[in-house]
């Protein structure tokens, strides 16, 4: 099968890419930066730079185009590139990862069969409190994806029913999460955990809190810091809090300003000496980062389905999280401690309770949590499901093509 993938980058792109390549499918990837190193590039893979991708425009200018003329010019030019690639490659399916500029270009080019993965782009369907607010939050690319995709893939269970009123009977809405490699994301050996603790300068017998999300305001690190400062006097053992220096926005100035604000607050709270930092880690090193933590904190403003919590449970670590709409009616409610959003005081209370408690019952629940992740969120489950969607979509498109051909007489 020939698959054209269009994506802005990130793990949400790399995982499906590798799944398809592993099964021997021929994949052309249109994205700003090649995710594969030359030595790991298989023969069935071809990288194509997205010449006028909006991410590149953003990186060069630091902002999105403010005028519609510039935006339309970028779309038309990139759509022409996509059409030329499709004419040459003749893909069986086109898969866009994320409701981003590339998806908008594919829709403008009217290419099919088109599979669109939302990856957080439809959170507003769950979070909007009224139809008026929902309509205000409906982006142009989301609306056109509803109208023009052949298959729409969502990651949160609650989104399946929310999307159905927006699509036709001929379109499919599928639920696919990235899952996790449970053979890799698992509890680590004690000797490695101790090495990490020494590297992080954790006090003897102390506890470690970890905020594993990228460095962006959307992940509320400043509120985690505030909650930690409120809770710190009540911890029974020395407790440090760890953050990752992993940038999750193209706006470097925004990152720098947020970091400065964060550290100013840390000094105000008098806890700057208890903060530890990890550099941007390759994904394969994250199991060790989770395993060094006694408690993982997840407290974003908004989120799609939480890969971080899947990975946390796979590593049998305790987690405190706010209960966002995308998390409702999922494993989060059973296996994680949930608190109110935008409430550092409530988060602080949960931190105190979790850091100061440990029991055989908690250990049993964590073991059950890992088993649940293995059975329901191992990435091989979603690999099979995505590849089946590719096959079914390609077959359906071929059937439709054959039925519309005029037989020769």
pLDDT (tens digit per residue) in 101-159 = 889 999 999 999 999 999 989 999 999 888 887 888 888 889 989 989 999 999 999 99
Find out whether 41 and 20 touch, Cβ atoms under 8 Å: no
pLDDT at 61 over 80: no
Q: Tens of pLDDT along 346-378?
A: 999 999 999 999 888 999 999 999 999 999 999
Mean pLDDT of 26-55: 85
Give the pLDDT score at 110: 95
Give the pLDDT score at 52: 54
Q: In terms of DSSP bridges, do strands 2-6 and 93-97 run parallel, antiparallel, or are they unpaired?
A: parallel
The 3-state secondary structure of 52-88, one letter per residue: CCHHHHHHHHCCCCCCHHHHHHHHHHHHHHHHHHHHH
pLDDT at 317 over 80: yes
Q: In terms of DSSP bridges, do strands 207-211 and 2-6 run parallel, antiparallel, or are they unpaired?
A: unpaired
Give the pLDDT score at 115: 98
Mean pLDDT of 372-394: 97
| d(C-alpha 27, C-alpha 83), whole Å | 16
Distance set, CA 326 to CA 175, 338, 380 (Å): 13, 13, 22
- 197-233 as b/e: b if 16+ CB within 10 A: beebebeeebbbbbbbbbbbbebbbbbbbbbbbbbbe
Q: Any idea which of 34-48, 67-81, 297-311 has the lowest mean pLDDT?
A: 67-81
| d(C-alpha 213, C-alpha 250), whole Å | 16
Give the pLDDT score at 178: 85
Mean pLDDT of 392-405: 68
What proportion of the chain, given as a percentage, has pLDDT over 90? 71
Give the pLDDT score at 409: 39
Give the pLDDT score at 294: 97
pLDDT at 402 over 70: no
Quickly state the pLDDT bin for 408 (edges 50, 70, 90): very low
Give the pLDDT score at 319: 98
Structure tokens at 39: 């030595």
Q: Tens of pLDDT along 157-210?
A: 999 999 999 999 889 999 998 899 999 999 999 999 999 999 999 999 999 999
| d(C-alpha 182, C-alpha 348), whole Å | 30
Find out whether 288 and 282 touch, Cβ atoms under 8 Å: no
Mean pLDDT of 254-280: 95
User: Which has the higher per-residue pLDDT, 397 or 144?
Assistant: 144
| d(C-alpha 58, C-alpha 108), whole Å | 20
| d(C-alpha 152, C-alpha 324), whole Å | 22
pLDDT at 54 over 60: no
Neighbours of 140 (CB within 10 A): 11
Give every CB contact of residue 53 below 8 A, 6+ residues apart in sequence: 8, 31, 32, 78, 101, 102
Sign of CA dihedral 39, 43, 44, 45: positive
| pLDDT averaged over every residue in the chain | 90
Q: Tens of pLDDT along 68-86?
A: 787 788 888 889 999 999 9
| d(C-alpha 74, C-alpha 72), whole Å | 5
DSSP 220-266: -HHHHHHHHHHHGGG-SS-EEEEEE--B-SS-HHHHHHHHHHHHHHH
Find out whether 313 and 290 touch, Cβ atoms under 8 Å: no
Q: Specify the DSSP class assigned to residue 330.
A: S
Give the pLDDT score at 51: 64
């Amino acid at each position: 099968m020939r698959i054209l993938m269009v994506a802005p980058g990130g793990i949400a792109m790399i995982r499906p890419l590798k799944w398809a390549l592993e099964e021997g499918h021929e994949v052309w990837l249109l994205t700003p930066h090649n995710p594969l190193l030359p030595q790991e590039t298989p023969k069935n893979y071809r990288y194509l730079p997205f010449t006028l991708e909006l991410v590149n425009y953003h990186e060069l200018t630091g902002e999105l185009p403010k005028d519609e003329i510039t935006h339309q010019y970028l779309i038309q030019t990139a759509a022409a590139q996509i059409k030329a690639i499709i004419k040459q490659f003749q893909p069986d399916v086109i898969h866009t990862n994320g409701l981003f500029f590339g998806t908008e270009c594919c829709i403008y080019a009217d290419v099919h069969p088109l599979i669109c993965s939302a990856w957080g782009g439809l959170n507003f369907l769950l979070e909007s409190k009224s139809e008026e607010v929902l309509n205000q939050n409906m982006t142009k690319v989301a609306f056109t994806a509803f109208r023009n995709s052949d298959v729409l893939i969502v990651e949160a269970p609650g989104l399946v029913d929310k999307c159905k009123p927006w699509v036709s009977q001929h379109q499919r809405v599928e639920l696919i999460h990235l899952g996790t490699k449970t053979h890799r994301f698992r509890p680590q050996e004690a000797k490695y955990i101790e090495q990490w603790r020494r590297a992080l300068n954790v006090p003897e017998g102390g506890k470690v809190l970890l905020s594993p999300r990228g460095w962006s305001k959307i992940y509320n690190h400043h509120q985690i810091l505030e909650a930690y400062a409120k809770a710190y006097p009540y911890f029974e053992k020395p407790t440090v809090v760890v953050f990752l220096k992993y940038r999750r926005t193209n706006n470097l100035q925004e990152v720098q300003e947020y970091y400065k604000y964060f550290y100013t607050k840390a000094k105000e709270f008098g806890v700057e000496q208890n903060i530890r930092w990890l550099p941007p880690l390759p994904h394969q090193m994250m199991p060790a980062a989770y395993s060094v933590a006694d408690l993982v904190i997840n407290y974003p403003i908004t989120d799609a389905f939480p890969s971080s919590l899947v990975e946390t449970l796979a590593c049998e670590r305790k987690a405190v999280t706010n209960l966002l709409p995308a998390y409702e009616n999922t494993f989060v409610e059973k296996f994680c401690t949930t608190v109110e959003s935008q409430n550092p005081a409530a988060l602080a209370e949960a931190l105190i309770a979790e850091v100061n408690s440990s029991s055989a019952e908690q250990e049993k629940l964590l073991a059950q949590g890992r088993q649940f992740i293995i059975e329901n969120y191992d990435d091989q489950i979603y690999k099979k499901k995505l590849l089946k969607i590719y096959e079914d979509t390609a077959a359906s498109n071929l059937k439709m093509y054959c039925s519309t051909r005029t037989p020769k007489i």
